[in-house]
Amino acid sequence: MTIQPLRKQVSNFVLAIALVTGTAMVAGHIVPDEAQAQRKKKKKKEKAAKAEYSEAFIAAYNPVDEAMKAEGADIATIRPQLDALIPVSVSPDERIAAGGLIYNAGVTSSDRTLQLQGMEMMLSSGKVPIENTGRYNFIAYQIANNMKDYAKARTFLQGAIDNNFTTETIGISDLQIAMAESYFSNDENAAGLDYLERAIEARKSKGEAVDEAWYRRGITVAYNNEIVPQVYDMALAWVADYPSSKNWRDAINLARNLNTYEGAEMLDLLRLSRKVDALQDKLDYVIYVESADARRLPKEVKDVIEQAYAADAVSRDDIFVAESLETANSRIASDRADLPALERDAMAADAGLRTVVAAGSAFLSYGEYDKAVTFYKKALAMPGVDANESLTRLGIAQIGMGDYAAAKESFAKITGNRLPIAKLWAGYALQQTGGAAAEESATSTGEVMGG
């Protein structure tokens, strides 16, 4: 293409190749729509009057244009001429014309640097037709992404999103996950998670479904890089949208794997596992029985073991479990008989912290949640209390009563090592705040820790 002085409109260049996206989440080839690039004769004439090319630009452009048209053109040889064209490409018309030439030179020579330089010039010219702006931004994103210039790639990808670029195989949601992947590819994992969370929130605000793969990808990145508390937030959003027992089990196991829990902490986490039907293998049940201790919480231990037997998760020949059941059975009657005296002692004005907490623990285990709430609230006002433990169990008891709003308030006050446990329980409470699930939980007052 030779540019004639001065008002001869440059014709649109033809994008010569199909570029493949640099991320696995956005698959397929992008071929610019040549039909969109063609102008009607009338529009050509109208735009011709507006085109502006300086003599310096024409003098630089035409020789390199002719050189590129020559058979067997060597781009490396004419590269100096291309470089010289850039500083004289000042007007919008000059920048889009030069950009197209440079881009095509990059295509011919498989030089991504030239391709990106040309595409940037065209986009910055303001002359790209509005219907092609999203497409050109996406191509620029692909080039920059393949060059591992992730910051620049994201700028162009956002341009594609802002201009609603889509194809038969690529939607806006694909572009959004590609944006998150761009951060992940550059080890900017926290920023990628933030973007992914915002994208999820945006889809939900529009009433749109969120692909489960988004959650799984975010959780994988957060877990592998131990990014907390985002890993728990992402997991909770996941089980809120896809609340299967298997997904709940995976979410709970995130907390188990990323933290060191023993005794009381593990007990409260496994109580949640039982609530959401996520107790599955023998080890889970054995740890539950150990943490609860048949001498302290015999009714709860008995219920857990019977559940394990019913699910064929634990063999009746397992000596530890069998002995724990025997101990629990031998203590339940006397333990129940002691509850009135324990309640009286714990209600006394001079009751010690140990007695009050023991009362809360006992009544929680027996499913008398209203009494458990009373004693945990009392304990929280006493000096020396393990506030995080009492708040956890207060929240569990409030869930047992169906008071989910109060439970969420209790869990929100928890800090330290129990924070992941609190987040998971709060997520469960949130799930119960509507519809049949809430009504069913609220009426299950006879349930003992889910059994």
- Within a domain: 231: no
User: In terms of domains, do 124 and 270 share one?
Assistant: no
**What is residue 448's predicted lDDT score, i.e. its pLDDT?**
33
**Under 8 Å CB-to-CB from 323, ≥6 apart: which residues?**
none
Q: Which residue has the tokens 């857990």?
A: 304
**What is residue 366's predicted lDDT score, i.e. its pLDDT?**
97
**What is residue 434's predicted lDDT score, i.e. its pLDDT?**
55
- Within a domain: 12: no
Structure confidence by residue, pLDDT tens digits, 134-160: 999 999 999 999 999 999 999 999 999
> What is the full DSSP assignment across 282-347?
HHHHHHHHHHH-TTT-HHHHHHHHHHHHHTT-S-TT-HHHHHHHHHHHHHHHHHHHHHHHHHHHHH
Mean pLDDT of 253-279: 96
Mean pLDDT of 44-49: 48
Share above pLDDT 70 across residues of the chain, in percent, rounded to a whole number: 85
User: In terms of domains, do 154 and 255 share one?
Assistant: no
- Within a domain: 313: yes
User: In terms of domains, do 266 and 143 share one?
Assistant: no
Q: Which of 30, 34, 12, 11 is nearest to 20 (CA)?
A: 30
User: Contact at 8 Å (CB) between 144 and 116?
Assistant: yes
Mean pLDDT of 223-248: 95
Domain boundary among the residues 138, 160, 182 is at 160
Structure confidence by residue, pLDDT tens digits, 167-219: 999 999 899 999 999 999 999 999 999 999 999 999 999 999 999 999 999 99
Structure confidence by residue, pLDDT tens digits, 430-450: 999 853 333 333 333 233 333
Domain span holding position 278? 243-443
Structure confidence by residue, pLDDT tens digits, 394-415: 999 999 999 999 999 999 999 9
Structure confidence by residue, pLDDT tens digits, 11-20: 333 232 233 3
User: In terms of domains, do 275 and 372 share one?
Assistant: yes
- Within a domain: 199: no
Structure confidence by residue, pLDDT tens digits, 69-119: 998 889 999 999 999 999 999 999 999 999 999 999 999 999 999 999 999
Structure confidence by residue, pLDDT tens digits, 273-323: 999 999 989 999 999 999 999 999 999 999 999 999 999 999 999 999 999
The domain that holds 98 is classified in CATH as 1.25.40
Q: How many Å apart are CA 174 and CA 30, to the nearest integer?
A: 14
**What is residue 72's predicted lDDT score, i.e. its pLDDT?**
87
Largest Cα–Cα separation, the chain:
105
- Within a domain: 393: yes
**What is residue 408's predicted lDDT score, i.e. its pLDDT?**
97
Helix (H), strand (E) at residue 30: strand 29-30
**What is residue 436's predicted lDDT score, i.e. its pLDDT?**
34
User: In terms of domains, do 407 and 260 share one?
Assistant: yes
- Within a domain: 171: no
If one counts every other C-beta atom within 10 angstroms of the C-beta of residue 259, the result is: 16
- Within a domain: 275: yes
Per-residue pLDDT at 266 exceeds 60: yes
**Under 8 Å CB-to-CB from 202, ≥6 apart: which residues?**
none
**What is residue 433's predicted lDDT score, i.e. its pLDDT?**
87
User: In terms of domains, do 278 and 407 share one?
Assistant: yes
- Within a domain: 202: no
Q: How many Å apart are CA 80 and CA 389, to the nearest integer?
A: 72
User: In terms of domains, do 276 and 405 share one?
Assistant: yes
User: Contact at 8 Å (CB) between 248 and 255?
Assistant: no
Q: Which two tokens stand for residue 416?
A: 């330290």
Mean pLDDT of 1-8: 42
Number of domains present in the structure of the chain:
2
User: In terms of domains, do 134 and 256 share one?
Assistant: no
Domain boundary among the residues 160, 180, 199 is at 160
Q: Which of 84, 78, 79, 94 is nearest to 60 (CA)?
A: 84
User: In terms of domains, do 120 and 252 share one?
Assistant: no
Per-residue pLDDT at 33 exceeds 60: no
**What is residue 50's predicted lDDT score, i.e. its pLDDT?**
56
Across the chain, mean pLDDT equals 87
Domain boundary among the residues 160, 192, 218 is at 160
**What is residue 56's predicted lDDT score, i.e. its pLDDT?**
94
User: In terms of domains, do 143 and 265 share one?
Assistant: no
Q: How many Å apart are CA 133 and CA 130, to the nearest integer?
A: 5
User: Contact at 8 Å (CB) between 417 and 259?
Assistant: yes
Per-residue pLDDT at 32 exceeds 70: no
